[in-house]
């Protein structure tokens, strides 16, 4: 069984007490400039990095202190390398996806969607 250290409880607890929330450190789309359309909201909700290696993740201690925290996990071995409180700087740098540019700029769609074309 995988043990995860909760940075708030300061204890190693079994993984069944935790829930994966989402990718950590991803800026919310309302922080982007201009009008936010449905396409960009969908990108934020559904699109995630799929890193092979070290990834920053957000977890929730559901059966303990009920707080969200961040974890650095190796997605190849599932080993949790470090955990840290929300708002703290990650102790380990995330792996890069080959060919990926570090950017969370949201696209601005100008083409009509298929639903709009039928109107």
Residue 88 DSSP label: S
Give me the domains of the chain, ranges plus CATH numbers. 1-27+46-94 (3.30.2270.10)
The tens digit of pLDDT for each residue in 11-43 reads 999 999 999 998 898 877 766 666 677 877 887
pLDDT (0 to 100) of residue 25: 86
Tokens of 78: 């599932």
The predicted pLDDT at position 35 comes to: 67
- Which residue positions in the chain have pLDDT lower than 50? 102
Residue 101 CB partners (closer than 8 Å, separation 6+): none
Give the mean pLDDT of the chain.
Answer: 82
What secondary structure does DSSP assign to 6-37, as a single string?
Answer: ETTTTEEEEGGGEEEEEETTPPPGGGSSS---
pLDDT of residue 111: 57
């Amino acid at each position: 069984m995988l043990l995860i250290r909760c940075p708030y409880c300061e204890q190693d607890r079994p993984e069944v007490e935790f829930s994966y929330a989402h990718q950590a450190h991803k800026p919310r789309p309302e922080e982007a400039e201009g009008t936010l359309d449905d396409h960009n909201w969908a990108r934020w909700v559904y699109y995630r990095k799929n890193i092979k290696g070290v990834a920053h993740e957000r977890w929730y201690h559901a059966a303990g202190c009920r707080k969200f925290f961040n974890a650095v996990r190796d997605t190849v071995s599932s080993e949790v390398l470090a955990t840290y409180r929300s708002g703290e700087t990650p102790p380990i740098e995330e792996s890069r996806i080959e060919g990926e540019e570090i950017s969370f700029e949201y696209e601005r769609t100008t083409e009509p969607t298929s639903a709009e074309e039928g109107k």
